[in-house]
Structure 1
């Protein structure tokens, strides 16, 4: 009899939870903060607002309908049934949550929109929606939209994905500017920028680690001092100076942010002539940091 993999079941449950929460947050940022002011971070959400302006059809339903041709395109270009089922669930949930928020929030909130300040609503809409998007991506899912078109174009032409998004979302923002005025377009561009920042933050988390590169003539002493003083591993290799041609050594050490001052002290006390560069790192995975786990492939 086939054994039940409880770890895989739990991982799928966590992914489903992240997808649901992420889509709910993305829909909340869109419906509560952006739709009342005709502001959107581009994409199908922005196009839905434009079409709603002329037809009166709910933006949630329009979001689902406008995604249909993109779903067909993605089915043939990005993985057929595996792609379709995952994306279809995301699109359906986003459409549902959007219409539910627009239907019920005005009845329960003391006032709707909850603020008349367009700048404030743009900021919160971009941040809340971006956090939701980051959680969706973190679970390996998508809520559809122009991301499907962007991925297809990138695979077919080799154009960077960020550049494709700039063209597709930028064109929709320009359309919103023509329909609703250029001030709305400016707010939408701000929402697009904040959405990307918040999405990256939710996807990768805060930068809590630092990487230090040290050029030194005392590699043995400095390696020992760093390993003993910080309890961190150190990698080293010989290098050659481009100007002097002298052979020196490069050390690489990754530490948590609170350890930076201690690292600088150790380097200064061990080798005053060392050259030290400290940079940000999004994540550190492996021994001594977050365990590196193999993700189970879905589908």
Structure 2
């Protein structure tokens, strides 16, 4: 339930970013949403319904490649955003386009980041980026920003080059905020010393979808036999891992360090 609420909240935040900051100044967002904003401005059709229609093919692709649960969350996000864009009035909060691009981009990044943290997607280029991060270990926000050059160029030709530059600023800010919230590309090495190592191993393997190395150890002072477990996780999984450790062995010694590079077999999804 908390994930569903987070996805709804993130989608509503994006709706506020679009209608209060970006659309009034003809500033486009990233990806297909930017295309939807542009078409919504220059055609009689609403941005929300255009965004939904543009996402349909990618949603179908996502079902095949990313799983029904992920796409279920994405559909919820797209529908919530569509409704939000109709309910929230299009009204400029600021008369300054550059300020609107910064704050609109930051709010958009906040909304998308929350949706990603809930294991969902706001659709569009996000789905393509999620597919790419399954194969390559790059920051998600940077990948999304890299795919948005065409949106910036389109903004320049359709509106003005001032609008294009403001769009570029907004997209850059969005990418930075996403990377600050969705830290899936940051890896952590977790070392656990516990007298309940077998139970911990079973718990982690069942719920974490990560490899775990199990070694024999002995307390130097107590002489007690212990198990030493080591696994590499993404930063957003740390809360879940700490909860699992606490459930099995609250007295376990846990050391968490940031990992610069991972080689070999490592699931990046």
TM-score normalised over the length of structure 1: 0.57
- Residue 161 of structure 2 corresponds to which residue in structure 1? 182
**Any unmatched runs of 5+ in structure 1?**
1-12, 107-111, 205-281
Q: How does 1:158-173 map to 2 (within 5 A)?
A: 158=136, 160=138, 164-173=143-152
Show the counterpart of 2:85. 98
8 Å contact kept, 2:7–2:76: no
Q: Secondary structure at the match of 2:242?
A: coil
Which of 97, 121, 146 in structure 2 is aligned with 1:142? 121
C-alpha spacing 1:33/1:150, structure 2 compared with 1 (3 Å) = same
**Distance in 2, Cα, partners of 1:83 & 1:139:** 9
Matches within 5 A, 1:78-117: 78-79=66-67, 81-102=68-89, 112-117=91-96
CA contact (8 A) 1:41 1:173 kept: no
Task: Note if 1:53 corresponds to 2:41.
Answer: yes
The RMSD of aligned alpha carbons is: 2.9
TM-score (norm 2): 0.63
Question: Gaps spanning 5+ residues in structure 2: where?
Answer: 184-234, 246-269
Show CA shifts across 1:212-245 (max 9, x none).
Answer: xxxxxxxxxxxxxxxxxxxxxxxxxxxxxxxxxx
Aligned length: 193
The secondary structure found in structure 2 opposite 1:293 is helix
- Answer yes or no: is 1:132 the counterpart of 2:111: yes
Once the two structures are TM-superposed, the CA of residue 163 in structure 1 deviates from its matched residue by 6.3
Q: 8 Å contact 2:70–2:121 — kept in the other structure?
A: no
CA contact (8 A) 2:41 2:47 kept: no
Residues 70 and 119, structure 2, Cα contact 8 Å, conserved in 1: no
2:55 is the counterpart of 1:67? yes
**Higher Rg:** 1
- CA gap 1:115/1:16 in 2 versus in 1, 3 angstroms: same
Are 2:211 and 1:292 aligned?
no
Distance, in Å, in 2 between the alignment partners of 1:135 and 1:44 is: 19
Displacement, 1:124?
1.2
| TM-superposed deviation, 1:121 | 0.9
Post-superposition offset of 1:159: 8.7
Report the Cα offset of residue 54 of structure 1.
Answer: 3.4
Q: Which residue of 2 aligns with 1:233?
A: none
What do the CA deviations read for 1:128-182 (whole angstroms, capped 9, x no partner)? 22222222122222111111123335557x5955665344212122111111121
- Could you say what secondary structure the match of 1:178 adopts? helix
